[in-house]
Structure 1
Amino acid sequence: MFTVAQSAKKVSQIAFLAFVVLLTGCASFGNKVKDTESGYYEAAQTYLDQRNYSLAIERLTDLQSRFPFGRFAQASALDLIYARYQSNDFATALIEADRFTRLNPDYPSVDYAWFLRSMSYYRLFLANRGIFGKVDPAMRSPEQGQKAFFALLEFSDQFPESVYREPALTAMIVLKDALARHELIVADFYIRRGAWVAAAERAQVVIQHYPGVSAEADALVVLTEAYGALELDKDRQITLTRLQTTYPDHAVFASGSYQAPKWAEDRWWVKLLTLGLTS
């Protein structure tokens, strides 16, 4: 037979259990809200705003896995490319951007995917220190630089009104300069072996394909010297006149008249081109 005290205790226990169940239910309900597509996307946006890219990638990946055809599918895919890029995972960003542009050619912000694709090529080139471990991009293998340049060119041509075109053009200038200086580093290699025809060909690449870059003046110096060594006096004079007219302040005119660089002594022009990184 229960006493009044026992009955009260029993009621209290039941009430406590009911309260626990209620809390559990509320928690479960809250988790269900967070597990919605919008919940995942909003959380990812918060992490992106905080520049917490690792958690943003995790949340966006979960979102794409759980809701592959949801209303945030394309937006989250683009955000994921951005998060990869900002995390310096340029290789993955490039792959995902390439896929996005192929699958969503008419997406309103597809120009941003193209931009991130081309910039991923660019950053991969800059990140590659090459077999010599040099910092200067001109000392690296040019293949990646050429891929990056043409990717940026493709983007800028395809989206001439894009707000991202200006930074793309800036990156192209850096690449053109690096690729041009690389040609002159190779030309220097040929000069030291007396291969003047090969050196002239490298200088011509700079002049024809990278006009206006900082290395153009030095390419004209190389070409002037190559024509002289090959006894092509008329071509030498034409090139020298162009050099003096276009770049009158070049170091070869420091004495007031043209003075050929002393290739074997100090390699001053190569050091200038490569920021002093050559030996």
Structure 2
Amino acid sequence: MNQTRPALSLAAALVVALPLLSACSGSKSSDSTPSGPTGTAEEMYSHGIDALNARRFSTADEQFNAVEANYPYSSWAVNAQLMYGYSLYQQNKYTDAIGQLDRFIQLHPAHRDIAYAYYLRALSYYEQIADIQRDQKGTEQAMNALQEVVNRFPDTSYARDAKLKIDLCVDHLAGKEMEIGRYYQKQHLYEAAIGRFQRVVNEYQTTNHVPEALLRLTEIYLTLGLPEQARQTAAVLGYNYPGSDWYRDSYNQLVRDGVATGNEIPEEERPKGFFTRMWDSVF
């Protein structure tokens, strides 16, 4: 998703800051990377980092894999596993990155950078979120992975960023419900449309899709000849979003259908209390 580019910058910065890279600080970058993975574990790992920073990903992958293959029990091999996952992520090979990071997490659950591994895994799911015209299974997977970061590492910067992305996922799911609901409404499948719009109101109350959902419900109730339900739904909309175009549109429809007068719905007729309580009073 395009809005995740700042997160990629964060991830790139983290690569520089990760403790596992500090071991390379004393290594000098050569002008040319060896044609094949040769040398000590530290040398090959350093060559991999140099290639990664230069965005020569195939060389970086080769070096990281060679470290693990030739020195499987060294600390450099462990670090190389994580950096290989990061390299795959940078190449947009998200499925491969998830597989590599899952492996790292299973093998090294107590590693000092385990929080970053979980976060990078969550980002790999998040980057695969499809548009609202497609199935949203990927969005749910991303939300689950991001929530795991929040649950496991609540006091980290990873958790704070994950919370923001969860909100975006929720908004994405709400948008999908609205898209389906509008389709049903156009097809005159009103019962199905009502179910979708009510779900947005009940389950995605923090998103900006709620006022439109209330307007669509008002429209459908008027179409079905249910003026009282339409009036009450518009009242909920007016109470929560009094200055919105959605409320003005709903009220104008009530006036056109003779359900409301030319005066705004009186304050005393609007439901009181929190949003959920108001919505429950309607249904």
TM-score calculated relative to the size of structure 2: 0.70
- In structure 1, the residue matched to 2:70 is 66
- In structure 2, the residue matched to 1:225 is 219
What is the distance in 1 between the residues matched to 2:107 and 2:66? 20
Q: Taking structure 1 as reference, are residues 151 and 233 closer, same or farther at Cα in structure 2, changes over 3 Å only?
A: farther
Deviation (angstroms), 1:41 = 1.1
- In structure 2, the residue matched to 1:258 is 252
Deviation (angstroms), 1:123 = 0.9
Aligned residue pairs: how many? 220
What is the distance in 2 between the residues matched to 1:259 and 1:193? 20
What is the distance in 2 between the residues matched to 1:242 and 1:107? 51
Structure 1's unaligned 5+ residue stretches are: 1-29, 127-136, 261-279
- In structure 2, the residue matched to 1:22 is none
Deviation (angstroms), 1:233 = 4.3
TM-score calculated relative to the size of structure 1: 0.71
Identity of aligned residues (%): 27
Point out which structure has higher relative CO (alpha carbons under 8 A, 6+ apart): 1
Residues 1:106 and 2:114 aligned together: no
Aligned-residue Cα RMSD (Å) equals 2.4
Structure 2's unaligned 5+ residue stretches are: 1-33, 255-283
Amino acid at match of 2:237: L
* CA displacement 1:181-227 (0-9 Å, x = unmatched): 11111001111222211111111221222221121111111222333
What is the distance in 2 between the residues matched to 1:235 and 1:255? 16
Computing the radius of gyration from Cα coordinates, the structure with the larger value is: 1
- In structure 1, the residue matched to 2:12 is none
Deviation (angstroms), 1:178 = 1.6
What is the distance in 2 between the residues matched to 1:250 and 1:61? 56
What is the distance in 2 between the residues matched to 1:195 and 1:250? 27
What is the distance in 2 between the residues matched to 1:231 and 1:64? 70
Greater CA drift, 229-238 or 161-170: 229-238
- Say if 2:44 and 2:63, in contact at 8 Å, map to a contact too: yes
Which residue of 76, 83, 86 corresponds with 1:79?
A: 83
Which residue of 46, 51, 74 corresponds with 2:50?
A: 46
